[in-house]
Structure 1
Amino acid sequence: MDFSIIGLSTRDKRVYEALLTIPNSSLRAVAETTNINRGSVYESIKSLRAAGLVNSVTQGKQLRYRAEDPAVLAEILREKQQALQTAGQQLDQYIVRLRTANKIAETRHMAAFYEGDEGLANILRDILSTCRLQKVSLYRVISSPRVSRYLYNNFPNFSRERAKRNLRVRVLRHANPLRATTGLADSRYLAGPKLDDGCYTILYASKMAIITLDKYNSMHGVIIDNASLASVQTRLFDIAWQGASEG
C-alpha cells in the first residue's frame, strides 16, 4: 500500500511495519530494525500516532511504542474518502458562489486553447466537471477515429470514469471506431462516404469543444464557453442523429 494516500511517508510505513513485528519497542530498537536514525524514527512515530496507527505505553521509566491493528488503515482510508467527498461538494458550492458574486453572465463568450496529450486530457476533465456542475447527464460527440486514437493518451480511464458518473454519450460517426465502445454510449453513422477529416467535436452543457489532428499528428483543441452556440449546435446534432443509421 502507498502510505501517501493517507498522508504518510514511505519512512512512516517502514516504522509502522517494524512496530508490527516487534511490539512494545523502544526508539532504539525500531531504529536498529529499520536502519533509520532515531531522530527520524521519532518523527515518524509522531506522524503515526497522529494518524491513529501507533500508541505508547510506559514500562518502568521507558516509553515503548506499539502498532495498532492493520484494520485501522481501512478506517483511515474511509475517513479520507468521506472527507474528499465532502470537500468536493463544498468546492462545487464555492464555485457557484464565486460565479454568482462576480456576476459571470451566461452570454459571455470565452474560448480556451489546448494542445498536446495533456491539453486534451484537460478537455476531458472539463467535460466531467462541467456536466457535474450543470447537472447534465448526456453529451454529444461527432467523432473522428484518427483523433480518438490519441485523445485518451493522458486520461486512459476517461470512459470508465464517465460511466461511473452515469454520464451518457451519443456519438455520430463517419467511420467505424478504432477503440472498443464502453457503457452508456450510443453510436449512429452519418450517411455518405466514410471520410475522416481529423476533426472531433464535443457538445456538453453550455460548451463546445473542437479537437483537430494535423498531418504531423499534432493535436490542438479549443473549448468555446457559449450557451447559445452550444444550444444551436446541439439542436443540429439532434436532427442529424434522427436521420443517422444505427449500423
Structure 2
Amino acid sequence: MNTAEILKTFGLEPRETRIYLALLASGPASIRDIADRASINRGTTHELLKRMQQKGIVSLFPKGKRRHFSAEPPSRLKELALKHQDQVTEAMELLEEKVIPQLAHLQPASGNADVHYYEDDDGIELVLKDILSTVSEQQERSYCVYSAKAIRKHLYRPFPNYTRQRVKLGINVKVIAIGEGGEEAELADRKWIDEESSENAGSYIAIYPPKVALISLSEGDLPTAVVIQSPTIAKTHQVIFDTLWNSL
C-alpha cells in the first residue's frame, strides 16, 4: 500500500494528497503555483485547499497581497487518522445498534429462502468473508464443508489468507474432502471420501446456519456461488453432514 492509498483510507482523496505533497516539497505557495505543481486546474485546487484547511492539514500563509498556502507538518496526518478512526468507530456502533435493525424491518416477512447469486473471484471473496462474518457472531464458532478436489486450488484464489483469518477469529471447521489431497490446518478436522469419480466433482458446500453456500466451477475454471439463507435448509444439510461425518 503506497502513501496515496494509506491517506485515502483516512479520508484524503488522491488529488488532495497530490496537493499536500506538492506543498511539502515547495513550501508556502500561491494557488497558481500549487495547481501547476499538482497538475490540477486552479478552480479545483482552490476548492480542494478549502477542504484541506477544514481537515487541518494546510493553512493560509500571508505573503503580501496574494493568498499563499502551506502544508502542516506530516505529524498532523496522525491526528487526521485518529479523528477518522473515531468517526468510523461511532458509525459502526450506530450501524449495529440502529441502522441495521431499522433496515431489517424493511424486509418483508416471509418463510421463503433468501437466495443470492455470486460469480467470479470478487463474488467468491464476498461469500468467503460472509462465512467468517456470520460464524464469528455465533456462540459456537464452527461450520462444516464438503470440499471437492477439483475446486480446491481455485477456491481461495481471491482470498489467499482465508485460513489465517479463520484461525485468528477462533473458528473451527469440519471438512469432508471428496478426493485425495487437502492440507491439514489449525482448528480444522478433516475426513476423506476416496471416490474414483471425484475428479468430476468440482464443488464446495459450506454449511453455516442459517446459511448454506454452494460454490462450483463454470467454464474456464471461474467459480460461481449460490448462498441460501434458510434455517430449515441449513438444518437439513447439517443433519446430512453430521450423519455422514459419523459414518466415516
TM-score for both structures, normalised by structure 2: 0.77
1:139 correspondence with 2:143:
yes
| Equivalent residue number for residue 191 of structure 2 | 189
Distance 1:26 1:113, change over 3 A: closer
Which residue number in structure 2 is paired with residue 42 of structure 1? 46
**CA-based RMSD:** 3.2
Counterpart CA distance in 2 for 1:5 and 1:111 is 32
CA contact (8 A) 1:117 1:153 kept: yes
Is residue 95 of structure 1 aligned with residue 107 of structure 2? Answer: no
After the TM superposition, which of the residue ranges 138-147 and 124-133 deviates more from structure 2?
124-133
Distance in 2 (CA, whole Å) between partners of 1:222 and 1:143 is 15
Q: One-letter code of the match for 1:96?
A: P
Q: Does the 8 Å CA contact 1:110/1:225 hold for their aligned counterparts?
A: yes
Distance 2:12 2:219 in 1: 47
Where do residues 180-219 of structure 1 align in structure 2 (5 Å cutoff)?
A: 183=186, 185-193=187-195, 195-196=198-199, 197-213=201-217, 217=221, 219=223
| Deviation for aligned residue 1:134 | 5.3
Q: Displacement, 1:204?
A: 0.7
Q: State how 1:215-234 maps to structure 2 within 5 Å.
A: 217=221, 219-234=223-238
Residue type of the partner of 2:13? S
User: In the aligned structure 2, how far is the partner of 1:134 from the partner of 1:89?
Assistant: 19
Q: Matches of 1:73 and 1:211 in 2, distance apart?
A: 43
In 2, Cα distance between equivalents of 1:225 and 1:76: 40
> Deviation of residue 125 (structure 1)?
3.4
Pick closer, same or farther for the CA change 1:131–1:163 going to 2, 3 Å. Answer: same
Q: Is the 8 A contact 1:200 1:211 kept in 2?
A: yes
What amino acid sits opposite 1:126 in the alignment? D
Task: Specify which of 7, 10, 13 is matched with residue 6 of structure 1.
Answer: 10
The answer to whether structure 1 residue 15 and structure 2 residue 19 are counterparts is yes
Unpaired runs of at least 5, structure 1: none
1:65 is paired with a residue whose SS is strand
* Residue of 110, 114, 125 corresponding to 1:110: 114
Give the partner amino acid of 1:98: L
2-side partners of 1:75 and 1:239: how far apart?
56
Q: Are the structure 2 counterparts of residues 135 and 103 from structure 1 closer, same or farther at C-alpha, using a change threshold of 3 Å?
A: farther
Write the distance in 2 (CA, Å) between the matches of 1:99 and 1:89.
16
Deviations 1:207-228 (A, max 9, x none): 1122233676454432222112
Structure 2 gap ranges (5+): none
2: CA distance between counterparts of 1:243 and 1:181? 20
2:72 counterpart residue number: 68
**Secondary structure of 2:12's aligned partner:** coil
Distance 1:133 1:87, change over 3 A: farther
Identity %: 29
Deviation string, structure 1 residues 18-51 (Cα, Å, up to 9, x no partner): 2223333332443454454433332232222122
Q: Does the C-alpha gap of structure 1 residues 23 and 237 become closer, same or farther in structure 2, counting only changes over 3 Å?
A: same
CA distance in structure 2 between the partners assigned to 1:133 and 1:100 by the alignment: 20
Partner of 2:163: 159
Alpha-carbon spacing, 1:212–1:23, altered in 2? closer, same or farther (3 Å): closer
1:79 partner amino acid: K
What's the secondary structure of 1:108's corresponding residue? coil
1: CA distance between counterparts of 2:103 and 2:122? 27
**Change over 3 Å in CA distance of 1:155–1:181 after alignment to 2:** same
Amino acid at match of 1:4: K
